[in-house]
Amino acid sequence: MDYDIRRQFPEFDVEVAEITADALKARLDAGTPVTVLDTRRPADAEAWALSYPNVTVVNVPFTEFVEDGQPVESVPEGVPEGPLVVSCAEGITSRFVGEFLTAVGREDVEVLVDGMEGWARLYVGTPLSETGPTAEIIQYHRPSSGCLGYLVVDGDEAAVIDPLRAFTDRYREDAASRGATLTYAVDTHVHADHISGVHALGATESTTPVMPAGAVDRGLNADVRLVEPDERLVVGDTEIEAVSLVGHTTEMTGYRVGDVLMTGDSLFIDGIARPDLEDPEEAHKAAGRIYDTLEWLAEEPADTLIAPGHLTLETARKHEPPYVERLGEVRGRLRGFDLDRAGFIDFLLSSMPPRPNNFEEIIAINLGQQRVDEGAAFELELGPNNCAASGD
């Protein structure tokens, strides 16, 4: 497909520099200012851009660089001076633009390999320094959306919590590299911002798919093991305890391993869950349930390590991975723990961002009510997660 598209473009007798997604992230994490020239359509660039505190994104569509099938005679208006990282959806039109700019004498031009799709496929694993008595916990981070997941390994068994379908092979490989087999694939709730990997991982005999029992009331149509609050999954010598953290959804369940509490989309280190994705008409009631969950968390040990299901790009820039924090620190910083019920509900309902892209279809897929192939699944979840309602 890429070859057929490239045949439409004139070829330049130049070499353009490339930068991979992981190399770009390292540059951004180092605080280096980066200007991205996004060559997608304006609507696509506005819907989802490469966002970092030290990134400036300028959108000049690819169509500005061609006329009647030939390159334009001069650099289009709006293209910034200085070093550029050129990006598009898949690294095709951006390569043409990068070659064009190089051919007209622009220096310090790099093309992002595979474009925004390459950025979306970046997935970084970082071990937690604090684990259960014998378990190792690895936190996964998808920079393009802020999604976080966890691999718990003890001996020759492993469980992945909140897996993404796009990275199912990664979990198996990481477990195998530690001498373990993936025995459980677990969701904290029915996700609305990404396609879960639980069903795909559970299609093999070695891995049991696990979801909270409350998902049945939401229309779950899949053969999975259901867990209730206080129930335990055993991986090696480690117990993974299910903990009720309802509010974001009615079945929202956290998982505790030793002093680590994987909170899913209930409490983040930089915000509190939004209450309107399961049923927008019931958002007021859901906000009250989130308040009750925070009241329960207010009584938990302050040294509990909160390992959330998401974080913002701003937080990723400020914190070194892994992205975890003591519950006492979170309670002392986030607004919400200091409000009464009425004040908290008003605060939460007044601070909700736009809903995630395609969230209703994603929920139906994660419930097993619809099926999509790998390519369609990847496209559906592109963009920011927007699962938090409030920040610190």
pLDDT given for residue 229 in this prediction: 97
Give the SS3 label for residue 106: coil
> Looking at the structure, do residues 145 and 59 belong to the same domain, yes or no?
no
The verdict on pTM exceeding 0.75 is yes
> Looking at the structure, do residues 102 and 236 belong to the same domain, yes or no?
no
pLDDT given for residue 29 in this prediction: 85
pLDDT given for residue 53 in this prediction: 81
> Looking at the structure, do residues 267 and 226 belong to the same domain, yes or no?
yes
Low pLDDT (below 70) residues in the chain: 1-10, 130-133, 383-392
pLDDT given for residue 130 in this prediction: 67
Neighbours of 3 (CB within 10 A): 7
Domain that holds residue 37: 2-119
**238 near 257, Cβ under 8 Å?**
yes
pLDDT given for residue 1 in this prediction: 34
Read off φ and ψ for residue 325, nearest 5 degrees. -160, 150
pLDDT given for residue 99 in this prediction: 94
Query: Of 62, 89, 119, which closes a domain?
Result: 119
Backbone CA torsion sign across 19, 22, 28, 30: negative
> Looking at the structure, do residues 14 and 97 belong to the same domain, yes or no?
yes
DSSP code of residue 323: -
User: What CATH number has the domain bearing residue 102?
Assistant: 3.40.250.10
Query: Of 97, 119, 141, which closes a domain?
Result: 119
pLDDT given for residue 315 in this prediction: 83
Cα angle: 238, vertex 167, 34; to 5 degrees: 115
pLDDT given for residue 233 in this prediction: 98
> Looking at the structure, do residues 196 and 335 belong to the same domain, yes or no?
yes
User: What CATH number has the domain bearing residue 136?
Assistant: 3.60.15.10
Give the span between the Cα atoms of 356 and 193, in whole angstroms: 6
Give the span between the Cα atoms of 50 and 45, in whole angstroms: 9
pLDDT given for residue 153 in this prediction: 97
Give the span between the Cα atoms of 385 and 64, in whole angstroms: 31
Alpha carbon distances (Å) from 249 to 126, 219, 285: 28, 13, 11
Calculate the CA 392 to chain-centre distance: 19
> Looking at the structure, do residues 26 and 12 belong to the same domain, yes or no?
yes
The total number of structural domains that make up the chain? 2
**242 near 263, Cβ under 8 Å?**
no
**143 near 313, Cβ under 8 Å?**
yes
Calculate the CA 136 to chain-centre distance: 22
> Looking at the structure, do residues 145 and 235 belong to the same domain, yes or no?
yes
> Looking at the structure, do residues 156 and 262 belong to the same domain, yes or no?
yes
> Looking at the structure, do residues 138 and 257 belong to the same domain, yes or no?
yes
17: enclosing H helix or E strand: strand 17-19
> Looking at the structure, do residues 302 and 170 belong to the same domain, yes or no?
yes
pLDDT given for residue 70 in this prediction: 86
Structure-token match 């609305």, residue found: 192
Give the span between the Cα atoms of 346 and 246, in whole angstroms: 18
> Looking at the structure, do residues 341 and 221 belong to the same domain, yes or no?
yes
> Looking at the structure, do residues 218 and 364 belong to the same domain, yes or no?
yes
Structure tokens that stand for 98 in this block: 């990068």
Query: Of 66, 84, 119, which closes a domain?
Result: 119
